[in-house]
Structures are given as structure tokens and as C-alpha cells.
Amino acid sequence: MSQPVFFAHANGFPSATYGKLFAALAPDYGVRHLELHGHDPRFPVNDNWSNLVDELVHHLETSDAPVWGVGHSLGGVLHYHAALQRPDLYRGLVMLDSPVLTRVDRIVIRAAKHFGFIDRITPAGRTLGRREEFADLDEARRYFAGKALFRRFDPECLDAYVRHGLHSNGARLRLRFDPATEISIYRSVPHTSPGRPQQLQVPLALVRGRHSRVVLPHHARLVRRVPRGEYLILPGGHMFPLERPQETAQLLRSLFERWDGQRSREASA
């Protein structure tokens, strides 16, 4: 019987983009996910992402058993906040290039919001004015393949993004992830937390892409305060789950198996 995984995607990347990663976890792990975070009118994007965390918890509560939480970037932070509030919903948590913010980080973010320079310290500024429509899939693929963010994508993951990241809009194709929602998510990045790292009651692994500029050394130091926290590195940048989906799946499998083994030994001690 497969073990339940609940995956949460990065901002702007529908969950179907990660299909190759999900397939590499099957059949031992069954992956559930929301196709698009932040698009349910019951849970509109708000400051500090508390509504997005509520949205995630709402869906986790429908699971028959605690899940392995896996999140990339935005998704990792949502899982982290949810696990602090509802550890009963989790077996363990893996944050894929998602920072656990320090107090200084949060002070800087709060100041950036207050003084109006949040677009300079998040990708919001680069998202403004992004191209939203394309004539067909071939044009879209050529466009994205030429962008630095996508240049190292696994070819199947890039194809999945083009197929699932666009939808028909009359005679043209338009981005499925609403650009205004994507920008709003960046601008409302949390400067608060529902708890401290020391309070997390489930195993946590923070996995950084070796060349990431999002997760930094001081974030690794904070993870070591988590009672069952660890810090790992995989080749690639911030988008490594879509650059190296097979290696990411291998790492997830090894973590889940090890954590399961530790739990079994503790239960029998």
C-alpha cells in the first residue's frame, strides 16, 4: 500500500509541472496536491500567507492518515507553517529550497513591505510585465526555453510546464497561474511565523540547491535548532526539483525510509 505524500508547488508553477517527480515516487508513494495554490476564492492571498496555510490545512484534513509533506519554495513555507500549527497531520516535512526565516530576515521583510521596496527583495519586480499570452505551444516552449530560469530544466519538466502552465484563451494560450496572484503572493511573503523552529514536532529536512540564492547558510543554522531537523544539498539552483526530478525523488525516498525506520525503532524501544 502506498504512503501518502502531499506536495505543494512553487509560486507560479502548477503542480502538474512536477509530474516526472511524482512518477518517480510511484508506486510506493501516492502524491496528492492542489493544482494551483492561491486561486480558491475561499482562501484569497493575504499578508503573511495565513489564508494559503488554511487552504493547505483544509485539504490535508481530508487525508485518511498523516502525510509526508513536500513543498518547493512557496510550498515548503506553507507546509512548515501548517506543521507548526497541526503536527497531527504530518509524518514528516521536506522543504525543497524553501528558507526557514530568521528573526532578522523577518524584520527586513516587514520593513520592505512598510517602505515599499518588497519588489526588490522578492521576484515580484521581475514578474511585473512578464509575457502572458502565446500563439501556440511551440512559441511558448521556445520563449521559456530561452529564459535563464528554465534553461536547466529537465526537458520533460519544461514540456510539462508548457502543457499544464497554459490554457486556451480564445485563439491564443494564456498563463494558467494568474500573474496578479503570483505577484500578490510574492508581495505578501511572511514576516511572521506561527511558531519557532524548536517547536516543530515532526522530522524536517531543508534541501538546498547547491547554487541557490534563496536558501543561504544562515537558514541552515536555523534548521539545526529543529529537534529532528537536517540540512541537505543537491546539485542545481533554486529550481532543482524541476532540473533534477529523479535525484530529488531518490532523496525523498531515502529520507522517508530513514524516518520510518527511526520511528519503528523508537516505537519498539
How far apart, in whole angstroms, are the C-alpha atoms of residue 49 and residue 192? Answer: 9
Range of the domain at 41: 3-268
> Tell me, what's the pLDDT at 174?
95
Residue with the three cell numbers 526555453: 145
Q: What percent of the chain lies above the pLDDT cut of 70?
A: 100
Alpha helices in 86-225 (DSSP H): 103-115, 118-121, 124-127, 137-145, 155-164, 179-187, 217-223
Confidence of residue 268 (pLDDT cuts 50, 70, 90): confident
> Tell me, what's the pLDDT at 263?
86
Strand locations in the chain (E): 3-8, 29-33, 67-72, 90-96, 133-134, 166-169, 172-175, 204-209, 229-234
pTM greater than the 0.85 cutoff? yes
Strand order in the sheet with 3-8: 29-33, 3-8, 67-72, 90-96, 204-209, 229-234
Q: What is the mean pLDDT of residues 238-252?
A: 98
Say which CATH number the domain at 97 has: 3.40.50.1820
| Tally of domains within the chain | 1
